[in-house]
Amino acid sequence: MTYPVTLLSLATANPAHVMDQDTALDIARELMAAGFSDFERMTAVFANAGVVRRQLARPAEWYRQPQDFPARSAAYLEVAVDLFVTAAQKALAEAGLPAEAVDTVVTVSSTGIATPSLEARALTRMGFRHDVARVPVFGLGCAGGVSGLGIASRLARATPGSVVLFVTVELCSLTLRTTAPDKADIISAALFGDGAAACVVRVGDEGFVQITGNAEKIWPDTLDIMGWRMEPEGFGVVLNRAIPAFARRHFGAAMAEMLATQGLHPAEVDRFICHPGGAKVVDALETALALGQGALDHERDVLRDHGNMSAPTALFVLDRMRAQGLPPLSVLTALGPGFTASSLTLRRAA
């Protein structure tokens, strides 16, 4: 008998420091207004972002001080490893498995550089076996939660019986750029937060949802839409304001194309579970997928409570959907650098 790849568990985690949107605007004004002459006209983005609060790696005062790349990297290593351990331990506990049962760890993170990578730094605290296989992945950005879970599911399918732990950690706030800020920096200050998520994946019939397909779509000549550029302070965000319009025009056809590879049509999907890049992106996705206005309610709730946490965000939405009760057929999807659409087809376990 052939068993499907299933999700045994799903856990999320956030750092302890909470910042509301009014405070985020005050700090952005303090740090960016002098270097960006049109700052006040741009402040509407804070009101329109759909974010009420977010959780951050460091307290507010840390962001008010100049931070060079070594300081940002040190903060990333400290907080990212802590969040990795928290999310991974919760996921393993839910799955009823000890850390030594893990055969492969897939780690996705694009907001900091760690060599050795996060799972190696967490190995002793977690209690992983010394022969655990490590698959660290960098550069997937906001699509990383979906694409990374897809990688984990393919590894589980290739080695039936093995336990694959997927962890994604993103600390977007540590990339805040205040020297010669541009529009992308102001939008980022209004949108992004920090978080982590983890899943345990294994071939079998005991999980809460089956991963029955995955697909990606990369649009050519779109490298300038989203990503990083290296600057003296570290990462400088590339975030094109045309993303909502691009999604509105192209995402529906891309989804139909991705589903067609699995013999499916968008009309057959009971629920699209989307990465909420921002309020305008959520609106655009509803239009592109021919959904009713307000259909992506959990997406808006996650954005409101946590901001855009990059890769983990889609899994936060999936967690809320699971609490409500997953429909028979859903598609987890996200957009990210490349410019890329990523999707996973999920069927509710019997």
Where in the sequence numbering do the catalytic residues fall? 142
- Placement of tokens 């071939």 in the chain: 203
25, 231 contact by CB (below 8 A): no
232 φ, ψ to 5°? Answer: -55, -35
What HEC string does the chain produce?
CCCCEEEEEEEEECCCEEEEHHHHHHHHHHHHHHHCCCHHHHCHHHHHCCCCEEEECCCHHHHHCCCCHHHHHHHHHHHHHHHHHHHHHHHHHHHCCCHHHCCEEEEECCCCCCCCCHHHHCHHHHCCCCCCEEEEECCCHHHHHHHHHHHHHHHHHHCCCCCEEEEEEEEHHHHCCCCCCCHHHHHHHHHECEEEEEEEEEECCCCCEEEEEEEEEECCCCCCCEEEEEECCEEEEEECCCHHHHHHHHHHHHHHHHHHCCCCCHHHCCEEEECCCCHHHHHHHHHHCCCCCCCCHHHHHHHHHHCECCCCHHHHHHHHHHHHCCCCEEEEEEEECCCEEEEEEEEECC
What are the beta bridge partners of residue 169? 196
List the one residue out of 276, 271, 313 whose CA is nearest residue 292: 271
Cis peptide before 69 (omega within 30 of 0): no
- Placement of tokens 């700052």 in the chain: 39
Task: Pull the structure tokens for residue 137.
Answer: 């992945």
List the one residue out of 97, 105, 103, 226 whose CA is nearest residue 168: 105
